Structure 1
Amino acid sequence: MKIFFNVFGNKMSVERKGEEWLLYQESDTSIRRRVYDIYIPSEIECDRLAQYLADMYHENATERFPSVEKIKP
């Protein structure tokens, strides 16, 4: 399962592999980079991922991008 988010203007994805969530930075050229400095606890439900990412990245909020939103790939 892969879920895409606009995290305060940055396209990111979260993928469930086994019992863990993996976070990736997405690009417009289809290159993705794993983000290792943010840990998403395995017990977080998929419907709470946007709030969790907002809590982790809230310093990046701007007037133009004030929130984290689930997006289509």
Structure 2
Amino acid sequence: MKFDIYGRFQIEVRRENDAWEAYRLEPGKRAKVDELIIPAALDADEIATYLDDIYHEMAGVGQNVTLIA
């Protein structure tokens, strides 16, 4: 799943070995986000809300974390 974080950057979240792994996407590369720990118990449909909780200080008025793929 890929998420747009308030139009500032994108994160890809994948399920790997019973855990969620997050990668920051940039043109031509992908880097693991070690400081972002997503609880393994979260369902896939809860990830956007969780990311919004983590990054809400970056949001402008009316901006949301959106699923893009």
Q: Return the letter of the residue paired with 1:68.
A: V
Shift of 1:17: 0.3
* Cα deviation, residue 5, structure 1: 0.4
| TM-score, with length taken from structure 2 | 0.91
Q: How many residues align?
A: 68
User: Where do residues 20-35 of structure 1 align in structure 2 (5 Å cutoff)?
Assistant: 20-29=19-28, 31-35=29-33
Identity %: 31
Q: Deviations for 1:37-61, whole angstroms, at most 9, x for unmatched residues?
A: 1110000000000000000000110
Which residues of 2 match residues 5-20 of structure 1 at below 5 A?
5-9=3-7, 10-20=9-19
TM-score normalised by length of structure 1: 0.86
2:22 counterpart of 1:43: no
In the TM superposition, residue 28 of structure 1 has moved relative to its aligned partner by 1.9
Segments ≥4 residues shifted beyond 4 Å: none
Question: Amino acid of the residue matched to residue 22 of structure 1?
Answer: E
Q: Which runs of 5+ in 2 are unaligned?
A: none
